Amino acid sequence: MHKDLFYSITLQRVHYRGSLMAHLLIKMIANRSVGQRDSETQLRRPRQCYSRIQEVSKMRTKLLALVAFAFSLLLAAAPTFAHHTWRGYDMKHITAMTGTVTGFDFGNPHVWMDLDVKNDRGEIEKWSAGGPSPSRMANAGWTKDTLHPGDQNTIVGNRISDGTYKLRLSKVVWADGHELMCYGKAYGP
């Protein structure tokens, strides 16, 4: 029997018109009956064909995911950038004042001390002085027991520009003349 005749007769008997699998199966049977192997009749996995639109859509999705990830990293880092500035402090002028220590917090993220300072009129002003991290101050010789309430010390640093009683601490001088720097340098980083 001729191959094309067998193929056409068998195809008419199959009720799966339009079925690719049935079509290939019938074509394979026809080729085997005449002893030939046609490369087109081999069963293959169907290829996935992506159109240009699908490729652009996938690239756009990946790009959008990358942009969203980068934006979230910047958003998460923003408080860190804002936190580590000394904006608002008068970095051009050094201020020194003598007072009595009322509190000393040697903890993260920054070391803070509170002092009572007498002004020119004899009134007590409550000052707060902040320094770097405890680890950085420890490298300069500070410990949690360096200052105690009631100590008389002179603090040196940069006053905040808004007029409140805050100081960016650079060093502390004790009554006996002993000094401890906060940043390891004379007046900060």
- Tens digit of each residue's pLDDT (9 = 90 or more) over 103-137: 999 998 889 999 999 999 999 999 999 988 898 88
User: Which range is least confidently modeled, 34-43, 61-70, 113-122, 153-162?
Assistant: 34-43
Split into its structural domains, the chain has a count of 3
pTM over 0.85: no
Q: Fill in the DSSP letter of residue 98.
A: E
Same domain, 165 and 107: yes
Range of the domain at 22: 3-41
Is cis: bond before 149, omega within 30 of 0? no
Same domain, 122 and 176: yes
Same domain, 32 and 61: no
Same domain, 66 and 114: no
Element (H, E) at 76: helix 52-83
Other residues' Cβ atoms within 10 Å of the Cβ of residue 48:
6
